[in-house]
A and B are shown apart, each in its own frame.
Chain A
């Protein structure tokens, strides 16, 4: 038996097919991954993401510390109530994790990190925070839900009393707010509008029931993966790992090279990669019949690469992938599926956003 989130019994009652995910027993789907995928694109779905790590950082030098720790620059969070996506790097530029950092107060920040890396992240951060007199608290007392889809905002709003509802509806993309014991952020991992809500574990069951009553559909890890793939979003362990820098993983846009005087862990390595990266991450659309999967060999006019994620894209009715290929590769490539070379072409990601295809099929 693996680790359980506070909603484990609820998932069982909702007839979830449970799978092991990084040591956690989590829902793969509740009957049909495809139905859950479409529900999020067309209406609203709720994901239990309580396996993810929440780290609260505080201290008068917290901003200075985070500016040295993260590849993106928290100085962009000019006031409390905003979030920022960033990689956390090793000295050699390898990606330790990708995360969202929220500024909650003048000197208080919240990091939401991946489940599989949370222990490593906490230790890495604590080891460096001490010198800045920044405290690092792991919030295992919190549960985390992601409510996603075009109807998510209204569904969450109806659960709040009027003054808090106003605040929620006023939140822009990547903004956040503490409303009573709940922390709400207008972020997600699906390419749709929605919120991620951190709240005391003892309150999550009631929130889940309220969302269900508001017509929000439970969605599992399967749909979470196909939604993020269509949205062109990286998954740690697939597109991202310690062996590759953010440039080779399509995340150059998340590295703040300016101001040049800001020193952050991994800076020298990513600057070198920026001027001469051997690899790039691209989106692929399969042009023949079949299904792309991860770790398939991709042949381009510049040499060989590999798919990092692949699958069926329900919104497109086609198969897509993300792949790491030699820098400068041309549009036409071939992918080896079960010993056979099939044609694919590179496309700009995201493949899908806000319910609509963004690529020519």
Chain B
């Protein structure tokens, strides 16, 4: 299975990760488990900066050789950046899911909105559960 999960991130049940940035905003991506399950990624559709997203709202689409998958925003806020490199190199999602394969950055509406996310241990338990 996947290597040790980064413990400075938070996770969702739908296999996104959330990184808190120094300015208080968050960066969002998909987990190593998600990219492995999807297979080679070949297309990514990201929201325009300035778009407002609600927690749980479908805000992006990643398409692998196999299928298209919605990405759900783990938080509510305004998109301040999306990863332009993915337009030409979607394989970054496979190669570096926690780094260069980030999807977007969001300025939070409400600092409390991160409640309900899993920590690394909680997400590891979810993966173990899904495997059984």
Contacts and interface: CB of A to CB of B under 8 A. Distances in A.
Interface of A: 17, 28-29, 32-34, 222, 226, 289-291, 293, 311-312, 319, 338
B65 interface: yes
Nearest to A293: B68
Interface stretch (B12-20, B40-48, B96-104): B40-48
A289 B45 contact: yes
B51 interface: no
Given A289-B43, A291-B42, A34 B65 contact: yes
Contact of A33 (B65, B68, B87): B65
Interface in B29-61: 39-40, 42-43, 45, 61
A29 B66 CA distance: 11
Nearest to A36: B40
Contacts of B91: 34
A290 B43 CA distance: 7
Contacts of B67: 293
Contact of B42 (A17, A29, A312, A338): A312
B119 interface: no
A127 B117 CA distance: 62
B68 A312 contact: no
Nearest to B88: A317
B69 to A, nearest CB: 11
Nearest to B43: A291
Contacts of A319: 43
Contacts of B43: 289-291, 312, 319
9 contacts: A28-B39, A32-B39, A32-B40, A33-B39, A34-B42, A34-B65, A291-B43, A291-B63, A312-B43
A6 B94 CA distance: 32
